[in-house]
Amino acid sequence: MTTESSRTSRPPADGISTFKGQDRALRAGRLGTGGLLLSVLAATAPLMVVAGVMPTTFAVMGIVGQPLLYVILGVVLVLFSVGYAEMSRHVHNAGAFYAYISRGLGATAGAGAALVALVAYNALQVGIYGIFGFEVSGLFATYTDLSVAWWIPALVAALVVGALGWLKIDVNARVLGVLLIIEVALVVVFDIAAVTDPAAQGLSLHAFNPDTLSGAGVGTALCFCIAAFLGFEQAPVYAEETSRPHILVPRVMFLAVGGVAVFFALSCWALTVATGPSAIVAESQKQSAGLLFGLTESRLGGTFTDVLHVLFVTGMFAAMLSFHNVVARYAFAMGREGLLPAAFGRTNSANGAPGTGSLLQTAVSVVVVVVFAITDDKPTGDPTVPILQLFTWFGNIGSLGVIVLMAAASASVVAFFVRRGAAGAQAWRLATSVLAGIALLVIAVYTVKDFDVLVGAGPGSSLSWLLPGIIGLALVAGLVQGLLLKARNPEAHARIGLGNEAFQLDKAAEEVS
């Protein structure tokens, strides 16, 4: 087995990119705590979760205790973050998940994780274009009487997001920040309105009663809810672009996980208070994504609800921009280490952004949207293709991929510190990683087992194995790529997961020569 010391001290071999020049490293010092926090929180799309995910979970699973699930998941992800954050103090790489897995479980495992991450985050980002296009189409129909096919605003958004991907990350952080703050503020206004004007059952805490979680659907409900948290784990992706990654990355991760858990638990509880716990399932089944807007209409008026509709769209745009940035950085990290063509491993000379990765993500988005547009014979007013297929299919594919990556990252944390002889000093952190890893594996198993429920397919549908099979195929392909690279170019294989450290080593070697 290749040791950690040999992987970080080995000089570059002939035929391997030597990372010459600053275009092989992301520009440091461009993000502080605020910018990093806003960048990762934007991916959670708070309004999309409150208006979309929560009513869907109530309707499909029939579990009143959904607010309690957010608390439980918050605890699981805090446990995960303990080891993950400690790992971030030792590894600074834009390919966070696969870099961590490579350091703990080996470079070949890291190659497999890299492709899974690239596929998963692409799927999450592309899926949002479906619901975004449908909602924008609906806004045009409601306020301008224009009939616009969903794929037109989806394609426009893909091009705009791609253009912003070329800009400096601090510009993107400002865009994300403004949208996120307004979005959160409006949800908080609704929460207050629901609490001050509850349904007939009053300020009931029944939704936090553990008895509400009884039944076979709890595991599947966790699959629905965990998607609401996706984004916090992206903080290490930006580590190279902060001045103090060992401090800022752990700080932002814990702030994000804690904030998201509390915010979603309270907002989900507010929905049950506004309808009454006994009525929340029936109302969700009746109104679906219109539940929140119906509740605000009666309590806060039409103008507030109209603004909420607009912020629903801008929140999705912020999420798309956030996932786009992550995909671009994963592509950059993979290109820098030979897992993608070398062109992906260079940054724009003008602003230091990973431009080629941004172009890749834009191209993937456009192609997928076009394919789904071609298959849609009812492009306006029918949510089947944009929401029930594009958004639901790709969203669950991406969620499964990230859950698998988090479980593998938990194992890699343990392996990393054991190999470094630090198991004793890190004992309590390793224990939290083991607990989190087990919980995440259970959620992953339920996700695969009940994938037909998650995507609304029949029990015998081929989608129940074809869609999760995409993540399995990505994992196998990545592992094969890692093994081939090890056989053909062991020096390049040894670099997987080193990221900016390899750049610093090459820089030092060039100075010596």
pLDDT tens by residue, 43-61:
788 898 999 889 988 988 8
Residue 443's Cβ-count burial label (10 Å; 0-12, 13-18, 19+) is: buried
| Cα–Cα distance, 461 to 359 (Å, whole number) | 35
Handedness of CA 202, 312, 470, 103 (dihedral sign): negative
- Closest by CA to 496, choosing from 140, 16, 14, is 16
Tell me the percentage of the chain whose pLDDT exceeds 70.
Answer: 84
pLDDT of residue 459: 77
pLDDT at 401 over 50: yes
pLDDT of residue 29: 47
| Cα–Cα distance, 505 to 11 (Å, whole number) | 7
DSSP β-bridge partners for residue 242: 31
pLDDT at 4 over 50: no
pLDDT at 503 over 70: no
Concatenated DSSP letters of 294-327? HHHHHHHHHHHHHHHHHHHHHHHHHHHHHHHHHH
pLDDT band at residue 8 using 50, 70 and 90 as cut-offs:
very low
pLDDT tens by residue, 64-117:
999 999 999 999 999 998 988 888 777 776 557 888 899 999 999 999 999 999
- Closest by CA to 311, choosing from 193, 136, 153, is 136
pLDDT of residue 149: 93
Segment 231-255 shows an average pLDDT of 74
| Cα–Cα distance, 240 to 258 (Å, whole number) | 24
Tokens representing 418 are 């054991």
| Cα–Cα distance, 52 to 59 (Å, whole number) | 11
| Cα–Cα distance, 438 to 432 (Å, whole number) | 10
**Least reliable range by pLDDT among 262-266, 347-351, 355-359, 489-493:** 347-351
pLDDT at 238 over 90: no
pLDDT band at residue 11 using 50, 70 and 90 as cut-offs:
very low
Q: How far is CA 146 from the centre of its chain?
A: 33
The H or E element spanning position 216 is none
pTM for the model stands at 0.85
pLDDT band at residue 374 using 50, 70 and 90 as cut-offs:
very high
DSSP code, position 391: I
pLDDT band at residue 165 using 50, 70 and 90 as cut-offs:
confident
Q: How far is CA 221 from the centre of its chain?
A: 18
| Cα–Cα distance, 348 to 356 (Å, whole number) | 8
Mean pLDDT for the chain overall: 84
pLDDT band at residue 137 using 50, 70 and 90 as cut-offs:
very high
Q: What number of residues does the chain have?
A: 513
Q: Helices 392-419 and 66-88 sit at what angle, rounded to 10 degrees?
A: 40
228 Cβ contact list (under 8 Å, min separation 6): 44, 49, 53, 70, 260, 264
| Cα–Cα distance, 85 to 326 (Å, whole number) | 18
How many CB atoms within 10 Å of residue 302? 9
